[in-house]
A and B are shown apart, each in its own frame.
Chain A
Amino acid sequence: MPEQRIVLRNCGAVDSRSLDSFLKRDGFEALKKARGTAPDRTIEEVKASGLRGRGGAGFPCGAKWELTRKSPGDQKYIICNADEGEVGTFKDRHIIQNDPFSLIEAIAIAGHAIGAMKGFIYLRAEYRRFRGLLDTAIEQSKERGFLSGFDIEIRDGAGAYVCGEESALMDSIEGRRGEARFKPPFPPTSGLWSKPTVINNVETLMNVPPIILRGSAWFSSIGTERSKGTKVFSVAGDVERPGVYELVMGSHLRELVVNLAKAKEPNLIQIGGATGRIVPVTMLDTPLAFESLLGAGAITVFNNSRDVIYVVLRTMEFLAEESCGKCTPCREGTAVMVGIMERFASGEASERDIANLEALSRTMAVSSLCGLGQAAPTAVTDTLQYFRNTYESRMRKEPVGVKS
């Protein structure tokens, strides 16, 4: 399936510092249209489009909006999650940097639909250099009256991967440590300061203005049965052309990493960053969609010279550092897994270590508080499935003597 630019429609075509250049490309037309219709109709349109969350979880966007709209209360919030921290991800950076006005328009549409008068953009600390760009874009939009009755505030992150998780993100906006919350309640009923809240990823929101302007029938005609529209990917690692690509949902992994990014002798591909899947090169013909493989779109390619064990070890070290520490399965589980992977790396591991990895993976997946801990064992379980020989070849060869 081909490349198609829906999310990246304006990237390279507008001057990200000029509202006028944005207005020449239907800028704020979708917001005007949405404000001219009943919020319920906007929500119906988004529901009918089949748009699902692009942050990795794939929750239906329209359903989230509807739940929030129907929740009782005058005070509601829309939060744009611009805290992409997954290893290998830079797609939202590309969007923010090239088309900030569309993002602002989309947040205002979401605000109108759910009945929020206030929106937040939670911007990761590493992207602080775009703060001025976003501030200017919000100011220009306000001055020209496009945001009347709606306020957007930018909150800077302070360096914490877990704050990309929606409940930790809300705790951070509330000025606390960014730790995951127990769910339920879910944000549409009780979110930021316990008020009904929608949290949408940057890329999810970017799909909204085209859906409003061109209709849900157009959008839902693109992609697969359960994954509508396109997906934006950031590709890095052992490729000749690292970068951001937008493909129709259902496109094969091969189109992305071989044809577009020009992977060189790929051996394994990590899809979705540290909490993402790891697949061998034999799976290049897998379609990229929610029903098969997707994640948030961070793709890292490793060639034949890279050590599988080392890739998993580094991935696990990242997760152990970034675990917020609130729940035991994630905090302790990631640390224990680092220890076991170190033993495989140094050739000290035994058969029992594989059994422990497998048992621990199951425990973490079912008992961790948030997505970080639940998905933390993914790199381990996938490589145990596809690269088990590598693990076995790295176990201690000699029988263990009893130490006196």
Chain B
Amino acid sequence: MTVKVQAREEVLTALELAQRELGHIPRSLMTELAAAAGISVAEVYGIASFYSFLSTNPLGRHVIRVCKSLPCHIKGAEAIITSITKASGLKPGETSPDGRFSFQLVNCIGACDGSPAIMIDDDLHAGISTESIPAILERYK
């Protein structure tokens, strides 16, 4: 991707775009962004590492985010985590070798009326059960 950043205020937006298009923020891009915005590479890295939706390590094509906050936890999030591990072979924090999924545990995603809830990419899956996990994952290739 090409970097079209002219001002420092555009750095975060550019990082968000890179995350969407490339699945992570490569070192070369951070160097390029720093030069274009007139700030240090350290500062760009500081931004990229601050936000939980940005990653400097390659992530899978689809990111599974399971809410681990209290409202989901008491409604069975632990069982959902176990069944995702069973269905995908991934433990929280891992990315599949074929690059299909990354599996993360995250803080409240604002879907507590449908606990337990997970997000895959931008999509919300709420009110799910352990049995529904394989079919949900099947939709993301």
Given A174-B8, A175-B8, A90 and B51 touching (CB < 8 A)? no
User: Is A327 interfacial (CB-CB < 8 Å)?
Assistant: no
**Interface contacts beyond A175-B10, A175-B12, A306-B74: sample of 15 additional A-B pairs, CB < 8 Å, sorted by A:** A85-B110, A90-B112, A124-B110, A156-B16, A158-B53, A159-B54, A174-B9, A175-B7, A175-B11, A234-B112, A237-B112, A242-B114, A300-B71, A314-B73, A318-B69
User: Is B119 interfacial (CB-CB < 8 Å)?
Assistant: yes
CB distance from A368 to the nearest CB of B (A): 19
User: Is A111 interfacial (CB-CB < 8 Å)?
Assistant: no
The answer on a CB contact under 8 Å between B108 and A87 is yes
Cα separation A128 to B19 with both chains bound (whole Å): 14
Residues of A within 8 A of B (CB): 84-90, 93, 124-129, 155-161, 172-178, 193, 234, 236-238, 242-244, 270, 273, 300, 302, 306, 311, 314-315, 318, 321-322, 324
CB distance from B112 to the nearest CB of A (A): 3
The answer on a CB contact under 8 Å between A175 and B122 is no
The answer on a CB contact under 8 Å between B110 and A176 is no
Cα separation A242 to B16 with both chains bound (whole Å): 33
Cα separation A29 to B74 with both chains bound (whole Å): 45
Cα separation A318 to B105 with both chains bound (whole Å): 12
CB distance from A133 to the nearest CB of B (A): 12
In the bound complex, residues from chain B placing their C-beta under 8 Å from that of A173 are 9
The answer on a CB contact under 8 Å between A302 and B74 is yes
> Chain A residue with minimal CB distance to B9?
A175
CB distance from A88 to the nearest CB of B (A): 5
In the bound complex, residues from chain A placing their C-beta under 8 Å from that of B10 are 175
Cα separation A266 to B55 with both chains bound (whole Å): 40
> Chain B residue with minimal CB distance to A300?
B71
Residues of B within 8 A of A (CB): 7-13, 15-16, 19, 37, 46-47, 50-54, 69-71, 73-74, 106-115, 119, 122-124
> Chain A residue with minimal CB distance to B47?
A177
CB distance from B109 to the nearest CB of A (A): 5
> Chain B residue with minimal CB distance to A85?
B108
The answer on a CB contact under 8 Å between A160 and B108 is no
- One of B47, B111, B119 near A90 (C-beta < 8 A): B111
In the bound complex, residues from chain B placing their C-beta under 8 Å from that of A300 are 70-71, 112
The answer on a CB contact under 8 Å between A314 and B69 is yes
In the bound complex, residues from chain B placing their C-beta under 8 Å from that of A90 are 110-113
In the bound complex, residues from chain B placing their C-beta under 8 Å from that of A177 are 46-47, 50
The answer on a CB contact under 8 Å between B113 and A322 is no
Cα separation A157 to B73 with both chains bound (whole Å): 24
The answer on a CB contact under 8 Å between B113 and A237 is no
The answer on a CB contact under 8 Å between B73 and A242 is no
> Chain A residue with minimal CB distance to B49?
A177
> Chain B residue with minimal CB distance to A178?
B50
- One of A87, A93, A172, A193 near B71 (C-beta < 8 A): A87
CB distance from B51 to the nearest CB of A (A): 3
In the bound complex, residues from chain A placing their C-beta under 8 Å from that of B108 are 85-89, 273, 318
CB distance from A175 to the nearest CB of B (A): 4
The answer on a CB contact under 8 Å between A321 and B107 is yes
Given A88-B71, A236-B113, A176 and B123 touching (CB < 8 A)? no
The answer on a CB contact under 8 Å between A89 and B110 is yes
Cα separation A119 to B81 with both chains bound (whole Å): 40
List 21 A–B pairs whose Cβ atoms lie within 8 Å, in order of A's numbering.
A84-B110, A88-B71, A88-B112, A90-B113, A125-B51, A174-B9, A175-B7, A175-B10, A175-B13, A175-B37, A176-B8, A177-B46, A178-B50, A178-B51, A193-B9, A234-B113, A242-B112, A243-B113, A300-B71, A302-B70, A314-B73
> Chain A residue with minimal CB distance to B107?
A318
Given A175-B47, A242-B115, A244-B113, A87 and B122 touching (CB < 8 A)? no
In the bound complex, residues from chain B placing their C-beta under 8 Å from that of A174 are 8-9
> Chain B residue with minimal CB distance to A305?
B74
- One of B52, B106, B122 near A128 (C-beta < 8 A): B122
